[in-house]
Amino acid sequence: MSGGLKIAFICPRYRAGSAGGAETLTREWAERLARRGHRCQVLTSRSRSNLSWENELPGGQEEMDGVLVRRFDLEYSPPLPGKPQPVGRLLETPSSPALQAFIRENLETFDRFVFAPYLFGLTAPGIAATGKKSVLVPCLHDEPGAYLPGVKAMFAAAGRILFNSAPEEKLARALAAFPPENAAVVGLGIEPPEKISADDFRSKFGLPRPFLLYAGRREPGKGIPLLVEYFRALIRHRDPGLDLVLAGSGEVELSEADRGRIRDLGFLEEADKWNAYAAADVFCQPSTHESFSIVLLEAFAAGTPALVSARGEVTREHCRLSGGGLWFSDYPEFEEAIWHLRENPPTARALGAAGKAYVERQYRWEEILPRLERALTGEPEKEKRDER
C-alpha cells in the first residue's frame, strides 16, 4: 500500500489492565498498522474498569508502542444499586463530551475513525459525527442491546463495517440494513509464542492431573457460573477424573468444597496462558456472547480440543468449520462430550490437530493485515474462508 492512512481508533478502554475483545482488537490493529506505516492514534478514556467507569488514569496523551494514545474524561450514570444498566441506555453511557469534541475538531485530520465496540456512549455519536469516514467494528453478539433501534441507525450511518466472523455478520444482517459492499469480515491474527510448554505450566502451578480449562474474563455473561455448576454436577454424578482450571480476570464464587477440584489461578501472564492452553486436556468456552472468541482460537492454536456452548453461534461455527471442538446444549450433552473425549484420546488429538490447522490457515497476521487495509481503504475483498 502506498502512503499510510491516518487512523483514529476509538475504544472505551485501552491498555488499562485486563482487556476485553474490543480493546484487544483495537490494540493489535493499531500497533500492527502503525508498524506498516500508518499513522495511528487511539482516542480513549481514563477508565480502568468497565463496571465503575471511573476516571482513574492520567488524562492527556502518551506514545505507546508506536501509537499516540489520548485519554479523555468519561461521564457515567451508574444504574441503581444492585440493578443492571437498563437496556435502553446501553448505547448512551458512558459518554465523553470531550472526546466527541476532539473528533468534531479533527474531522479533517484523520482518514478513518474506527469505533469498537457498538455498545456504550462513544460509538453512536462518533459515527454520526464522522459519517463516511467512520468504520464500525461492532463486536456484536446476540444480546438485548443488539436489538435497540439505535443499532439499526448506527449500522446504516457507518461508512464501513468490519466484522470479526461470518456468524457475527449474519446476525447483523438480521438486525439492520446496510450495503453489502460496506461490510467485510476481518478478525484478528492468532500468533502463538515460539515456545509453549505444557510441562512448565503443570509444574509451576502444581497441576499433575488432567484438567478442563477456561481462560478469559470471569463474568456471569461469559457463562462461568454455568460452567462451575456443570462441573460440580459432573464430579458428583459421573466423575471423569478431570479437574477444572479457571484463569483470567474477575471474581468466581467458589466454595471450600470446590477448591479440591477447581483451581482458580486468576490473571495469567501471556507465557503462562499459552502454556495453560497446551497443558489442558480440553478447553471449555461456555460463553454465548462472543463475536470472535480470541481465547477459543488461542486454545485451537495450542492444539487443544474445545467444548463450547451450542448457543454460542460464533464459537460453535468455529468448532464446526475447523473440526476443532464439540458443543453442548444442556448438562447431559456436556457430560457425554467430556466422557467422549476422555474415552477416545485419538479423537481428542484429531480435534486438537484440526483446530490448530484451522487457525494456521485462517488467522495468520500475514493474511489478516492486508485484508484489514483493503477493508479500511474500501478495496474489494478477495477473502479465503472455510466453508462446509
Which residues of the chain form contacts with other proteins (CB under 8 A)? 87, 143-144, 147, 149, 220, 225-226, 229-230, 232-233, 236-237, 288, 311, 319-327, 330-333, 336-337, 340, 347, 350-351, 353-354, 357-358, 361, 381-388
Burial grade of 70 (CB within 10 A; 0-12, 13-18, 19 or more)? middle
State the nearest-atom distance from the C-beta of 296 to other proteins, in Å. Answer: 14
Nearest to 67 by CA among 29, 14, 23, 31: 31
Nearest to 285 by CA among 266, 312, 260: 312
What letter would DSSP give residue 246? E
In the complex with other proteins, the residue whose CB is nearer, 47 or 85, is: 85
**Bridge partners, residue 161, by sequence:** 136, 183
State the nearest-atom distance from the C-beta of 243 to other proteins, in Å. Answer: 19
User: SS3 for 296?
Assistant: helix
In the complex with other proteins, the residue whose CB is nearer, 209 or 361, is: 361
Q: Which residue has the cell 461469559?
A: 222
In the complex with other proteins, the residue whose CB is nearer, 40 or 284, is: 284
In the complex with other proteins, the residue whose CB is nearer, 71 or 141, is: 141
State the nearest-atom distance from the C-beta of 265 to other proteins, in Å. Answer: 22
In the complex with other proteins, the residue whose CB is nearer, 37 or 220, is: 220
Given a contact cutoff of 8 angstroms between Cβ atoms, the answer to whether 4 and 36 are in contact is yes
State the nearest-atom distance from the C-beta of 96 to other proteins, in Å. Answer: 27
User: SS3 for 2?
Assistant: coil
State the nearest-atom distance from the C-beta of 346 to other proteins, in Å. Answer: 10
Burial grade of 311 (CB within 10 A; 0-12, 13-18, 19 or more)? middle
Whole-angstrom distance, CA of residue 191 vs CA of residue 200: 20
E strand or H helix that includes residue 326:
strand 325-328
In the complex with other proteins, the residue whose CB is nearer, 208 or 380, is: 380
Cis, peptide link before residue 84, omega less than 30° from 0: no
State the nearest-atom distance from the C-beta of 6 to other proteins, in Å. Answer: 30
In the complex with other proteins, the residue whose CB is nearer, 59 or 221, is: 221
State the nearest-atom distance from the C-beta of 225 to other proteins, in Å. Answer: 5
Tell me the backbone φ, ψ of residue 79, rounded to 5 degrees: -70, 175
